[in-house]
């Protein structure tokens, strides 16, 4: 079985594929100082709950936007999976797509993996919206190429900035407050972040489609995306498996077997 690891700035996702489908997926807070020996018992307990163990894993692929986390995850794969991990972005690991931007080396591994996963499942052209520490809008061309996009602060980051910069503004839950006009500070902040995010997503999708000049599907993924599921028509599909699917496809494109 394949262990696919996607390291984001805030969370790290571990997913296991048995060749027929995803057996399990888990998230942990990203901590680049966490050692292989600290990851292993945590994963072992979760895998045991799923009815399998490390002895059934024989391959690993890693994508990370936190370079300092790679050393420990590489050791995790070597010691507990018994395999040298395939690492997205390293020499010899091909994405199988063209990175059609001015400085291809600047494209984050997570954005490229999402582009591969989106094209495999939905084709192109496609807008991929990933809501995490940052919110990104990435363009996947009709041929699967990564064609650039938009980066802006994520929802939680925006809320944290409000709390940190304004002494009287509290931390609040991200949810639909039921109305646009808030009647108190908390509901006003919730309305601002919830409806403001929806208007931002709809407005940017509209501008992207106008500039691109062709019909485009829109796919949303990431830890925060589920909050907006069903709230507005700009997004065609909510897909929490997008990054894992991209990692699986890249593994296969590079001759990986498990």
Q: Exactly one of 31, 55, 102, 110 is catalytic; which is it? A: 110
- What is the pLDDT at residue 224? 72
- Beta-strand relationship, 126-131 and 22-29: unpaired
2-87 against 104-245: fold identical? yes
- What is the pLDDT at residue 129? 95
> What CA–CA distance (Å, rounded) separates 16 from 5?
9
| Active site annotation includes 110 | yes
Could you say which DSSP state residue 126 is in? E
**Of all helices (H) and strands (E), which one includes residue 58?**
none
Handedness of CA 116, 104, 151, 127 (dihedral sign): negative
pTM of the full structure: 0.88
Q: What is the pLDDT of residues 75-105, one digit of tens each?
A: 999 999 999 999 999 999 999 999 999 999 8
**pLDDT above 90: residue 223:** no
How many residues are there in the chain?
258
Architecture per CATH, 104-245? 2-Layer Sandwich (3.30)
- What is the pLDDT at residue 248? 96
Report residue 226's pLDDT band, with 50, 70 and 90 as the boundaries: confident
Comparing 48-52, 151-155, 174-178, 231-235, the range with the smallest average pLDDT is: 231-235
- What is the pLDDT at residue 166? 83
Percent of the chain with pLDDT over 90: 69
**pLDDT above 90: residue 251:** yes
Q: Where do the structural domains in the chain lie, given as residue ranges?
A: 2-87, 104-245
- What is the pLDDT at residue 74? 96
CATH topology of domain 2-87: Nucleotidyltransferase; domain 5 (3.30.420)
CA-nearest of 71, 73, 69, 14 to 45 is 14
**pLDDT above 80: residue 53:** yes
Q: What is the pLDDT of residues 125-147, one digit of tens each?
A: 999 999 888 899 999 999 999 99
**pLDDT above 90: residue 49:** yes
**Beta strand extents in 30-68 (DSSP E only):** 59-64
How distant is the alpha carbon of residue 43 from its chain centre?
20
What is the pLDDT averaged over residues 218-240? 84
- In angstroms, what CA-CA distances link 107 with 60, 61, 70, 151? 22, 19, 18, 11
What is the pLDDT averaged over residues 178-201? 90
> What CA–CA distance (Å, rounded) separates 212 from 195?
25
Q: What is the pLDDT of residues 105-132, one digit of tens each?
A: 888 889 999 999 999 999 989 999 998 8
Mean pLDDT across the chain, nearest whole number? 92
- What is the pLDDT at residue 79? 96
């Amino acid at each position: 079985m394949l262990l696919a690891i996607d390291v984001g700035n805030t969370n790290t996702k571990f997913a296991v594929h048995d060749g027929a489908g995803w057996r399990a997926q888990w998230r942990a807070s990203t901590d680049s100082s966490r050692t292989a020996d600290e990851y292993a018992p945590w994963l072992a307990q979760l895998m045991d709950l799923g009815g399998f163990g490390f002895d059934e894993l024989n391959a690993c692929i890693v994508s990370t936007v936190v370079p300092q986390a790679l050393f420990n995850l590489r050791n995790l794969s070597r010691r507990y999976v018994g395999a040298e991990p395939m690492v997205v972005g390293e020499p010899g690991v091909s994405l199988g797509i063209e990175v059609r931007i001015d400085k291809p080396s600047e494209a984050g591994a997570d954005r490229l993996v999402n582009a591969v996963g989106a094209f495999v499942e939905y084709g192109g052209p496609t807008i991929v919206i990933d809501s995490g520490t940052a919110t990104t809008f990435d363009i996947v061309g009709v041929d699967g190429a990564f064609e650039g996009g938009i980066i802006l602060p994520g929802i939680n980051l925006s809320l944290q900035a409000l709390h940190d910069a304004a002494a009287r503004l509290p931390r609040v839950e991200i949810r639909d407050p039921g109305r646009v006009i808030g009647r108190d500070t908390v509901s006003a902040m919730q309305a601002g972040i919830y409806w403001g995010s929806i208007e931002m997503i709809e407005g940017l999708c509209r501008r992207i489609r106008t500039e691109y000049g062709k019909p485009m599907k829109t796919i949303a993924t990431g830890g925060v995306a589920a909050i907006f599921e069903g709230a507005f028509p700009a997004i065609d599909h909510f897909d929490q498996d997008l990054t894992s699917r991209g990692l699986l496809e890249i593994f296969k494109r590079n001759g990986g077997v498990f």
